[in-house]
Structure 1
Amino acid sequence: MAIGSKISLQRLSYVIYEHPDVVKFLTFAEDFGFELAAKSENGEVFFRGYGPDPFLYVARPASGGAPKFHGAGFVARSAIDFQKACNFPGAQLVDVSHRPGGGKMVRITDPNGYVVEVVHGQEERFVPQEGISVVAGGRPQVNGAVQKTRKGVFNRMTSGPSKVHKLGHFGYTTDNYAKTCSWYSSNFNFKASDIVHKQGDPSTEFMSFFHVDLGAEYTDHHCLLVAAHHGSGSGTSIHHSSFEVEDLDTEMMGHSWLASKGYKPMWGIGRHVMGSQLFDYWYDTTGFIIEHYSDGDVVNEECPTIRSAGTPAAIWGPPLPTKWD
């Protein structure tokens, strides 16, 4: 698809999962920091954060009892871009009047069978001027070893879930790496922030971190991760979805809260290399991987795509789990 005909997206908005036990997931969702947005007559449950999106996670009862990831929703950058999505081969216009925020939605299927839902005209939520921190009164400045900027202000924290701001990114592992990367970057305004290739062989890429290219406007380092399977993996599957929280204290207190409820940690807390974000991965009640993150990089058109040889997954943190993909 030519550059002028690409569908321009404004941001990633939500992900869609099927759970064998949605009721059980409801409890986890609350402990993770989601807020209930709505329930529909067909059993769908919508969760929101405190960002502009009317919802950021859709949980559905699993058809036939098997858990499944359906895909993700993005906000079109303009009415013209939404119409481009409607004209995409095989696109289906879907009635979403029952969903929080309303608006219009068109559904496109990617090369691996997952859906890309493009929405337009939703009623967005009011966004607070500051993020919600567990630090009482909001996050104060930090006292360094020499400069003490937090004078007479105490760090007192509340116990509970990490309140989620927004959906930051999701990632696939695939044996269809090249075609998947090409499809997303050719048809939409996805641009790679970082590409990781094999040591000593720059032509063999195995991981791409894509952001939505908004020109001079800054956006998250990545909203989509595409990674080739390590070893003998086959097919394409969701690896994780990641949700932003305000700061490290909020992330740490959320980690403690989830641990106290008996949920299973996957990896964290640590700091990634690509994207720089502080990460904390968990398994939900179905077994899907879900992440809290904070302090991630942002990029714009002046930031070049960085190509690097195989790099460690974290600057610091626990060892990478033996089973990653």
Structure 2
Amino acid sequence: MTDTAIMPETATPIVKAVDIAYIRFSAPDLDAMERFVNDFGLVVVHRDDEVLISRGLEPMPFLHVVHRGPAKFMGWAFEVESEGDLDALADAVPGCSPVHDIGGVEGELGGGKRVHFVEPITGFVLEAVHGQQAEPLAPRRDRITYNHAGVDDRVGVEQDVSGNRYPIKKDPGPPEVYRLGHVVAAVPPGAHQAFMRFLENTFGMLVSDAARMIIPPGAEEHFPPPLVELIKSTGSDVMFQFMRMDRGAAETDHHSMLVLPLMDGTPEAQFSHAAFEVFSMDDVFRGHMHFRERAAEGAPYALAWGVGRHVYGSQIYDYWHDPYGHVHEHMCDGDRVDASYGPNTIDMTDPGQLGDNGGNQWGPTVEESGVHNLNGPQCDPRFADRPDEIRASLLSRDLSELQHVVDAI
């Protein structure tokens, strides 16, 4: 079998993206989504009857866009280095729009230029942007200084990570989101490998860690039958890939994309989750406590997975389903690497690679959490109780009701 993860590069990529810029949704109730983004720690920069736009503290005009429409994840944007990169995408990618000024409210917020297209393997709307500008937002609190055993960086100052010493409250309030870290897509088996190659060849993404599932002859009985059939159906043993930007000697996140195979038979690609960076482990736990209290009060949020620390990427994480089941992650302390890192191979047949706690250094076990964030909004514990039209729109990549939005991007 061909190993996609370590196959030598066969073509120069069209461009080399430098970051993930923002994610885009639609939802029938923008009021519910506005409450969610505020609880998550984003800053709303525009709201009208048709769109909700939010940002973090980093100097980017927005990170999160929600249009009024059916409950659906639409796609995301890559940031590229130059307008010439946008020209290259417009010339080389079938169905790509011409290069144009970012218009409407989004252009008013940060200017810049972009292209967009509907990616045919997944059906996601992919965008590329350059030249957006915004001033950073000042955090409300200073960064936390920690005392590590034997190294005391905080002396004579009480630790008050959320203004919550007196009065002591159950709900510390939301953390502050700094930036968008990564996006994860779950794609039907076989197609997920084609999408990995698309990301390599179109946006120059590099493989950091790739999971392989090699099942020796006669060992099939030791693995779940659906997993065996999935591997046999793909024509490759690559299960998933953590992928990062190629920024040469400059450091970048261990992964800006993770591509997973859909394991539950859902026929169309799904949004698994997006991760947003906060400043510290205390901020991750702060978000967990805030969402836990809000959910207890009746807010439409559900815990997906957390709190824990990953192995691959090392992030301390906490994942929650939003009002429509899409998973948003608070994370901090991820690995930073340059282009010389990897690619590394994760042998999924080695029990030491994942273990009972699902690849965590510490955190909830698979049995405790079910790792419910991975496949898409259908893993939300409330999904079966949603109206038929909501369930259908969440899982479908059909953009016909949103064509006016796509045309305006």
Q: Fold-level match, TM-score > 0.5? A: yes
Could you tell which deviates more after superposition, 296-305 or 194-203? 194-203
Deviations 1:258-298 (A, max 9, x none): 11111321110000111000010001111111110000011
Partner of 1:174: 187
Which sections of structure 1, spanning at least 5 residues, go unmatched? none
CA distance in 2, matches of 1:119, 1:13: 8
Q: Distance in 2 between matches of 1:200 and 1:154?
A: 54
1:163 alignment partner, one of 155, 176, 179: 176
Alignment of 1:1-325 (within 5 A): 3-4=11-12, 6-39=14-47, 43-62=50-69, 66-87=70-91, 88-93=93-98, 95-98=101-104, 99=106, 100-110=109-119, 111-126=121-136, 132=139, 137-144=142-149, 146-158=150-162, 159-175=172-188, 176-200=191-215, 204-230=237-263, 232-262=265-295, 263-310=301-348, 311-312=353-354, 313-320=359-366, 321-322=369-370, 323=372, 324-325=374-375
Q: Is the 8 A contact 2:80 2:86 kept in 1?
A: yes
After TM superposition, the structure 1 stretch with the greater mean CA deviation from structure 2, 192-201 or 25-34, is 192-201
1:151-188 alpha-carbon deviations (Å, 9 max, x no partner) = 22221122321110111111111111111111111111
Change (3 A) 1:40 1:120: farther
Residues in 1 aligned to 2:333 and 2:160: alpha-carbon distance in whole angstroms: 21
Cα offset for 1:306? 0.7
Structure 2 length normalisation: TM-score?
0.73
Opposite residue 326 of structure 2, the aligned amino acid is: F
Counterpart amino acid of residue 249 in structure 2: A
> Secondary structure of 2:148's partner?
coil
How far off its partner does 1:221 sit? 0.8
Letter in 1 for 2:212: H
Deviates more, 1:159-168 or 1:193-202: 193-202
- Structure 1 CA distance, aligned partners of 2:315 and 2:111? 32
Post-superposition CA distance 1:201-239 (Å, at most 9, x none): 795111101111000010111111101122534321111
- Rounded to whole Å, the distance in 2 between the matches of 1:49 and 1:90 is 31
Deviation at 1:2, TM superposition (A): 7.0
How much has 1:96 moved relative to structure 2? 2.3
Q: CA deviation at 1:79?
A: 2.1
The structural deviation recorded for 1:242 is: 1.0
What is the rounded CA distance, in whole Å, between the counterparts of 2:17 and 2:123 in structure 1?
20
SS in 1 for 2:255: coil
Higher Cα Rg: structure 1 or 2? 2
Quote the Cα distance in structure 1 between the aligned partners of 2:13 and 2:135.
30
SS of residue in 2 equivalent to 1:255: helix
Unaligned stretches of 5+ in structure 2? 1-8, 163-171, 217-230, 296-300, 376-409
Q: 1:198, CA displacement in angstroms?
A: 0.9
1:177–1:226: 8 Å Cα contact kept in structure 2?
yes
What SS is found at the alignment partner of 1:113? coil
Secondary structure of 2:127's partner?
strand
Distance 1:174 1:101, change over 3 A: same
> Is the partner of 1:282 in helix, strand or coil?
strand
Q: Is the 8 A contact 2:13 2:204 kept in 1?
A: no
Instruction: Provide the rounded CA distance (Å) in 1 between the counterparts of 2:336 and 2:11.
Output: 23
Partners of 1:127 and 1:80 lie apart in 2 by 29
Q: Secondary structure at the match of 1:112?
A: coil
Q: Any conservation in 2 of the 1:20–1:286 contact (CA below 8 Å)?
A: no
Report which of the two has the higher share of helix.
2
How big is each residue's C-alpha offset from its partner over 1:60-83, in whole Å with a ceiling of 9 and x where there is no partner?
112xxx311111011111122121
CA RMSD of aligned residues (A): 2.1
Of 5-14 and 281-290, more deviation after overlay is shown by 5-14
Letter of the structure 1 residue corresponding to residue 135 of structure 2: R
Offset, 1:24 = 0.8
Cα drift, residue 125 of structure 1: 2.5
**CA deviation after TM superposition for structure 1 residue 105, in Å:** 1.2
* In 1: Cα distance, 2:90 partner to 2:244 partner: 22
Separation in structure 2 between the aligned mates of residue 127 and residue 216 of structure 1, nearest angstrom: 28
